[in-house]
Amino acid sequence: MKTILASLTLFAVIATAQAQTNPGAPTINQAGNSLPPGFTKKVQAVADSDADFRAHNYARAEATLLAANQSPSGTPRWHCESGAALMRVAFAFRARFDAVTATDVAQRALAHLKQAEQGFGPKTDPAELANENEMAGYLCEHLLGDRTQAKRYYQAAVNLSPKSGHAAELLAAILVSEAEEAKKRNYVPGQ
């Protein structure tokens, strides 16, 4: 999950900067680092879909964005990849202080993650299912503000694969935060 989160952040920063400075321009890796396969295509898809997302033409924007997916269309992995791509866009809009678009796109991402979960079969690697649940939990917590649903997803991820990802840490952080909030609510001065 740490890799996914770092990737989400890096991707959102690059895509947002590129879309704002030179829409449609190809991504150039100026540092000379090798990029994952399809990265340039995905960054370009983010830039190409940006205007449609800003105009709330979500169907068209999503079609443009998801055309860069590498997984076969309609498969659980395609839905997972779609959810991750939409999450990156949602975080980029949140960084632009466009809460409406960020929330709308986050809900579309969550719908794809739910479809992925429903499509995975009994022979699916538990770590892969855990990753999907962890992403859904992170999306619920950080983009949709729904800690209750985030806890459910994190717990599902922990149940599926306790040692993979960071769901246990993310769940523990929410529980600590809730305990601290409860302590503040129940605080009585002088006791």
DSSP string, 89-145: HHHHHHHTT-HHHHHHHHHHHHHHHHHHHHH--TTS-HHHHHHHHHHHHHHHHHTS-
pLDDT of residue 34: 63
What is the domain count for the chain? Answer: 1
Per-residue pLDDT reduced to its tens digit, 8-60: 444 444 444 434 433 443 444 445 556 666 788 888 999 999 999 999 999 99
Domain membership flag for residue 174: yes
Domain membership flag for residue 64: yes
Q: Is the pLDDT of residue 186 over 60?
A: yes
Q: How far is CA 124 from the centre of its chain?
A: 21
Domain membership flag for residue 119: yes
Domain membership flag for residue 70: yes
Structural domain boundaries enclosing 16: 2-26+37-185
Domain membership flag for residue 116: yes
CATH code for the domain in which residue 95 is found: 1.25.40
